[in-house]
Amino acid sequence: MVAVKLEHANLAQHQANVMQQMRDFWMEAHLCDVVLKDNDGAEHRGHTVLLSAASVYFRKLLGGPFQEADRVRRKEPVEIAASKAATSALLDYIYGGQPEVNVETGLELLRLAQAYDLPTFASAIETGLCASLDSVKALRILQESHLLHSLKAACEEKVAEEFEACSKHPDFGKLGARQLARILKREDLAVSREEVVLKGIFNWLKVSDDRKVFLGTLLQHVDFQAFSVENLLRAGRFPLCGPSAAELHQEVEEALQIRQQKRAQSADNSQSFQPKRRCLKHWTPDLGASAETWREVLPVPCNSLCWHEGHIYSADFQGNVFCWKPGDPATSARKVVGQAVGTTGIIDLGACDVAILPTGEILVLDLSNERLVRFQDGCGHLVCDHIDDSQAMFRSPNGVVYLLVEGGKVVQKVVGSTLQTVIASESLPEHLHFRGRAILATKGEVIYITDNLKGWTRVFRFNRAESLEPVVVGEGPWLGAGQSLGPWGLFVAEDETIYVGEHHSRKVLAFHPGNTAPSEVLVCPDALRPVGLVVHHRSLYVSMVDDIDFPTAGGVYEHLLPPELQLE
């Protein structure tokens, strides 16, 4: 006889139909011949033949010479070491379902899948956990010792991706020392600054005194050369007992020595240093390495910035003054001077500089029309006019208003409606002649101005209580004699660090106390150039434009300076 082969027209569909029929039987408890009892006491019915087909473990357990097989024959429940949720999800999956479970149940199912020899189920659990993975889940999952390698790698990658937030989470302290070390040595560890890595280590150490023995090993994964000098010095002074203290201080000392060597070797140190973290793209000898931390806070090209009682004020090139609170979105900025806000009196302003008087009145130096205007209750009043070739204005903390006039060669102060000369370039020795572009005064009425008359970026300090002549406190790169695009913005922080917007090179430079050589803080993006500067807390606000004469693009940006390192 000739055998006839009976082929399925659609074998896959046939198998799916049979599986669907078995699932319907299971859901209806039809022809079920085994009962599984979970840890919570709940009973789950099933079919011995299907469970045995799904798992070698079940086949041996339910059909072999074990007590469980005898219980099946006597129609008694077989105990299973799992919770109700996990047992339900396990059976649902075996019967062709796609259960949804939380992380805790997923981890329990992963243990069951490995114990019951269900590799396909284990892979499905891993895929599901990875698909819904966030940093909090990743920290929780990493506490398990039975993880599949790929799941562990995905969790470590997620923790590295959100390391700053993870290092503050309680579950971060539950990582093992080797796990933490693996994460720390990753090149893709995402941090805004390397100091975050050291703080994370100390957060992990606080969980137990027994962990101090791991400090030396973990410190090897910290790139101390990427620290700011300020934070290196803080870390070096951190009080720590035992041999770990010596290891920390040695790392700090070596980083400081290397920093000094790099500074001595080249003026352009930013190109000679490669941090461990790919995310740390910007480095300077004093400020260390950081990620790109730009944030646009006002999408308007502005000529100047000033700070007053928790708010930043900026003046644009069309006679408008804006005000906003740091941290608020750009849409919250409000216009306080300008035709659109109903300002009356003098309103035909051009490019201007702005200062806020202690009374809250807005003072505007109208550069285009050579006059000083005071705005009170929305009305502009003339203070004085015919101000010859004015350049900039600043109000000291004591309320004294200073102007740079006559092309930046004379400093005057406002007294009522008149101007009194404070310093004139021509009255000084020739090597101290200046052509100022920006001016600032401290609470002690110490005056700072930027200058590039001799082709250098220079910063002068005038302290009339000490000397009749200015002192050069900062001297930067050669720009070329007569170069008009020199130092533009100026700000002196509370720690006496001087920040200068160097218009020609598109950089913001910093001069630290006692050091007249500059450090590069940042390079402006998108071919923009710095104009105005304000520093508040650890944020540097920079107004930038593409063209100082005819600006068509630019805005005010916030750049985060190195945070103060605090190791508790």
Structural domains present in the chain: 15-132 (3.30.710.10), 183-290 (no CATH), 305-387+532-561 (no CATH), 410-523 (2.40.10.500)
Residue 402 scores a pLDDT above 80: yes
Report the pLDDT averaged over residues 13-40.
91
Question: What secondary structure letter does DSSP report for 10?
Answer: -
Question: What secondary structure letter does DSSP report for 291?
Answer: -
Which range is least confidently modeled, 192-201, 274-283, 320-329, 554-563? 274-283
In this structure, the number of other CB atoms found within 10 A of the CB of residue 392 comes to 27
Q: What's the pLDDT at 55?
A: 87
Q: Is the pTM of this model over 0.85?
A: no
361, 365, 318: which is closest to 339 by C-alpha? Answer: 318
Q: Which strands, in side-by-side order, build the sheet including 471-478?
A: 436-441, 447-451, 456-462, 471-478
d(CA 216, CA 246): 9
SS3 content of the chain, % helix, strand, coil (to 5): 35, 30, 40
Residue 1 scores a pLDDT above 70: no
Long-range contacts from 31-37, C-beta under 8 angstroms, 24+ separation: 33/72, 33/75, 34/62, 34/72, 34/78, 35/75, 35/76, 35/77, 35/78, 36/77, 36/78, 36/79, 36/80, 36/87, 36/91, 37/77, 37/78, 37/79, 37/80
Dihedrals φ, ψ of 19, to 5°? -65, -40
Long-range contacts from 112-120, C-beta under 8 angstroms, 24+ separation: 112/82, 112/86, 114/146, 115/57, 116/55, 116/57, 116/58, 117/55, 117/56, 117/57, 118/54, 118/55, 118/57
Q: Are 171 and 165 in contact (CB under 8 A)?
A: no
Residue 271 scores a pLDDT above 60: no
Q: What's the pLDDT at 347?
A: 81
Dihedrals φ, ψ of 40, to 5°? -90, 0
Report the pLDDT averaged over residues 384-403.
94
pLDDT in tens, 318-359: 999 999 998 888 888 999 998 778 778 888 898 999 999 999
pLDDT in tens, 83-97: 999 999 999 999 999
Residue 64 scores a pLDDT above 80: no
Residue 138 scores a pLDDT above 90: yes
555, 504, 510, 501: which is closest to 530 by C-alpha? Answer: 501
**Cα Rg of the chain (Å, integer):** 35
Helix (H, G, I), strand (E, B) or coil at 334: strand
Q: What's the pLDDT at 62?
A: 81
**532: confidence class by pLDDT, cuts 50, 70, 90:** very high
Residue 68 scores a pLDDT above 80: no
Helix (H, G, I), strand (E, B) or coil at 482: coil
User: Which of 382 and 480 is assigned the larger pLDDT?
Assistant: 382
Residue 66 scores a pLDDT above 90: no
Report the pLDDT averaged over residues 247-257.
88
d(CA 498, CA 147): 53
**Which residues have CB under 8 Å from 114's CB, separation 6+?**
122, 146
Residues of the chain with pLDDT > 70, as a percent, come to: 95
Report the pLDDT averaged over residues 220-232.
92
Residue 505 structure tokens:
């090179």
273, 281, 279: which is closest to 255 by C-alpha? Answer: 273
Residue 118 structure tokens:
């269900």
Q: What's the pLDDT at 478?
A: 66
Q: Are 562 and 288 in contact (CB under 8 A)?
A: yes
**Which residues have CB under 8 Å from 267's CB, separation 6+?**
none
Q: What's the pLDDT at 483?
A: 57
**243: confidence class by pLDDT, cuts 50, 70, 90:** low
The angle formed by the CA atoms of residues 199, 201 and 205, to the nearest 5 degrees, is 115
d(CA 66, CA 342): 91
User: Which of 479 and 249 is assigned the larger pLDDT?
Assistant: 249
Residue 390 scores a pLDDT above 70: yes
Residues of the chain with pLDDT > 90, as a percent, come to: 55
Q: Is 315 exposed, middle or buried (0-12, 13-18, 19+ CB in 10 A)?
A: buried
SS3 sequence, 114-175?
Answer: HHCCCHHHHHHHHHHHHHCCCHHHHHHHCCCCCCCHHHHHHHHHHHHHCHHHHCCCHHHHHC
Residue 209 structure tokens:
């005194």
312, 315, 373, 376: which is closest to 347 by C-alpha? Answer: 373
421, 459, 441: which is closest to 355 by C-alpha? Answer: 441
Dihedrals φ, ψ of 516, to 5°? -85, -10
Residue 265 scores a pLDDT above 70: no
Report the pLDDT averaged over residues 394-418.
95
Q: Are 492 and 440 in contact (CB under 8 A)?
A: yes
Q: What's the pLDDT at 272?
A: 64
d(CA 529, CA 501): 8
Cα distances (angstroms) measured from residue 298 to each of 236, 310, 327, 557 = 39, 16, 11, 7
Q: What's the pLDDT at 274?
A: 82
Q: Which residues pair with 381 in a beta bridge?
A: 374
Rounded to 10 deg, the angle between the 243-265 and 229-236 helix axes is 150
Residue 306 scores a pLDDT above 90: yes
Q: Are 469 and 434 in contact (CB under 8 A)?
A: no
